[in-house]
């Protein structure tokens, strides 16, 4: 999932931003495993072979979300790619990820962002 510096997700029912290096890092992180997502999100991953477009993400081991649907899923790890900016947002993440343990933080050099912070949380 991608968030801005204030946990913003969407503005006017659209993603705030995008950066192709996020998709590259996700592919490195999950390897050849499948990743479930909506048709809207799949456009960010064109050319990747392990994409599963579905409206029912409950059975997917890996999921890429662009909306705050975390309460619908059972998961042990959450990866947040945090933009280096605050964008206009009318939808913010409501899930309390701060109740999880921050396992790792790293920085990715983005294509359109100077840096993208990758935060890995575990239960």
**Per-residue model confidence as pLDDT tens digits over 32-55:** 999 999 999 999 999 898 999 998
Say which DSSP state 63 is in: B
- Inter-CA distances, 123 with 31, 72, 74, 97, 101, Å: 22, 16, 11, 9, 6
Predicted confidence at residue 71, as pLDDT, reads 83
CA 80, CA 26: separation in Å to the nearest integer?
Answer: 11
**Per-residue model confidence as pLDDT tens digits over 4-29:** 999 999 999 999 999 999 999 999 99
Category of 74 on φ-ψ map: left (φ > 0), alpha (ψ -120 to 50) or beta: beta
Q: Is the pLDDT of residue 68 over 80?
A: no
Report the number of distinct structural domains present in the chain. Answer: 1
Structural domain including 42 reads: 2-122
N-term to C-term CA, the chain: 17
Which regions of 63-122 does DSSP assign to beta strands (E)? Answer: 77-82, 91-92, 101-108, 116-122
Residue 93: pLDDT band by 50, 70, 90 thresholds? very high
């Amino acid at each position: 999932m991608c968030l801005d510096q204030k946990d913003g997700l969407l503005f006017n029912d659209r993603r705030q931003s995008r950066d192709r290096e996020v998709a590259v890092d996700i592919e490195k992180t999950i390897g050849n495993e499948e990743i479930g997502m909506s048709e809207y999100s799949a456009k960010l991953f064109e050319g990747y072979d392990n994409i599963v477009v579905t409206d029912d993400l409950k059975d997917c081991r890996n999921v890429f979300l662009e909306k705050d649907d975390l309460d619908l899923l059972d998961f042990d790890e959450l990866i947040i790619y945090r933009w280096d900016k605050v964008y206009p947002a009318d939808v913010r993440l409501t899930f309390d990820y701060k109740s999880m343990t921050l396992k790792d933080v790293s920085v990715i050099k983005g294509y359109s962002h100077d840096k993208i912070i990758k935060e890995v949380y575990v239960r």
